[in-house]
Structures are given as C-alpha cells and as structure tokens.
Amino acid sequence: MTRMAGTGQAPILTVTLNPALDIATAVDSVVPEIKLRCDAPQVDPGGGGINVSRAIDRMGGRSTALVAVGGGAGARLATLLAQAGLTVLRLDAPGETRHSLSVTDRGTGQQFRFVLPGPEWGTLDVRAALDALAAAAPRDGLVVLSGSNPPGVPPEFAAMAAARLTPTGSRLIVDTSGKALASVAAAQGAPVELLRMDDAEAATLCGAPLPTRADTADFAARLAASGAARTVIIARGPDGNIIATPDGRWHVAAHDVPVASKVGAGDSFVAGYALGIARGWPVADAMGLGAAAASATVMTPATDLCRPADVERLFAEREVTPI
C-alpha cells in the first residue's frame, strides 16, 4: 500500500483469550428438520485479537498475537497462524479451543453465525494469562484486547490487564461485549486508552436510544469524561463510526460497498485504527484507515478479511468530519 509502505510504527500486541477455528460454508436454503448439504468449508483462525493481527498484516503492519490455545483444535489453529506468517506467542488454554460456524443461505443472502463458548477458565488460568500479557507487552506500544471472555474469566479482566500494563507504558485498546464491556464502562480512572462498542451495546449502557450522530457522540464523550477510557469509539453500523477523544469528536463514514460477509469487519476496523495510531497518524486518518479496512473486509467472502488494494482505494476515499 503506497501510503503505508515503509512507514515506521510502534509495536502492537493483540490478545485473544477465546480464539476459534472459524468454519464458513453455504447452503441453498437454511430450513429445519432436514439434512442441509453444505459447500466445502473454508477454515480460518478466528477470534477478535487474531483477526486484528490478520488484518494488520494485510495492511503491511506488524503485530504479535498472544493466543490461548488447547487440544487438537488449538493445534490446528496454531498451524493456520504459522501458515499465515503471523508472530504468535502461545498461552496454554485449560481446554479444547472452540469452533465457530457461519452458514450463508444462498437463497436469501442471510448469514447465520453459531458461536460456541470455549473452555472453562479457573483462577490460576486467569493469573497465568495476566502474567503472560504483562511479560509480552511492548514498551510504549499498543495492546489490543479483543473478543469475548472465555467462561470463568471475570468481567473485570480488562481493568486487571490495564493495571498490569501501567509500568510498561503500553496503551490498552479494549473491544469486547456483555458484562466485560459493562465492567470497563463502569470503571472510573482505569488506564484504558480506547474502548470500542457497537450502537446496540452503547444504547444498552446509556439506557436510551441514540438515534443521531450527535446523540452517539455525546454519550461517547460522557463515557470518556467518566474515566472509563481516554477515547471511546461507537460503531453505528451502515452509518459509520463515532469517536470521542480529549481533543475532539469525529464521524467516519462507512463505504458503500457490496457485502459478502460481515465476519471480522469490526475487528478489521480496530486493526486499521490501531495501525494508524501506531504509525503516529492523526486520529482522523486512523479512523479513515479503520473504516477502509472494515468496508474492505465485508467485500470478502466467509471468514476472509480485507484485501490490501481495496483498503488503499477506500482509504483514499475516506470521509471524516468533526462533530
């Protein structure tokens, strides 16, 4: 990518506690009670942090992926990561790595996603993960904690991780959901650099709909002012993304592109934004790269991610406006 080629960047560590073997297939029609004859599956290494590292690599960036894996599925996932050329630090999970299945109904174009929970973690497993994260954290770099928590990992894990990262100078980006998201949002003064969520999650936390961009920006700014995170990003689906920082608020438009699969789009946005920040870009340009990566990813089938040429073209067409 011409804009990004040869550009220096701060180190990035991605963290995936609950990875998955992502299996994608398609059928003529999804109906109950009968055997559905599926296409040959496409299998990719999946999970929030892994997808962030995969997308960063597609955009010519560098990252290290800390991944908890276990069992035969974990061994296959590790092989796929090695084949992709990613730098991986392995953390032993307390059980078999999960599978995730997405099935596209060719008749309607709808995509059905089935996500399994992953192995149960104990107190010692959580402690080992925190130790590994702290040991691997790059000095003055970025750490991206992305994806769901496995069963048994407390909702406060992100805050625990942020505290362990303080001595390293690493800035923590958190992209999670459910109780883990609520825990970060409720914190005051936790050293989280960036918290990201989608519009439905934001409305749940707010306790009211957020119909306009201004409503979303106001809520993001309130969250940041409360001490939940220095910066807050809220995804508004087809309407793009809103960011609130200490220096201002911006909206970045989503690109009008054909949608083949939405798997990994949010992770690709995080990858683009993190890569831009790691390269020292202004917030608006980092948001533009995030939007380009997300839109490029929805153009690809199944569990594939963004193509470099698409990201470069869409980045050149970015629309970022102050709010």
> Which residues are catalytically annotated?
267
Q: Residue 238 gets which letter from DSSP?
A: G
Which amino acid is it at 127? R
Q: In whole angstroms, how far apart are CA 231 and each of 218, 219, 244, 246, 247?
A: 13, 12, 6, 7, 10
Please give the Cα distance from 228 to 258 (Å, whole number).
35
The CA-to-CA distance between both ends of the chain, in Å, stands at 29
Triad 257, 198, 222: Cα angle to 5°: 130
- Give the largest CA-CA distance in the chain: 57
Please give the Cα distance from 71 to 200 (Å, whole number).
35
Please give the Cα distance from 199 to 216 (Å, whole number).
8
288 near 312, Cβ under 8 Å? Answer: no
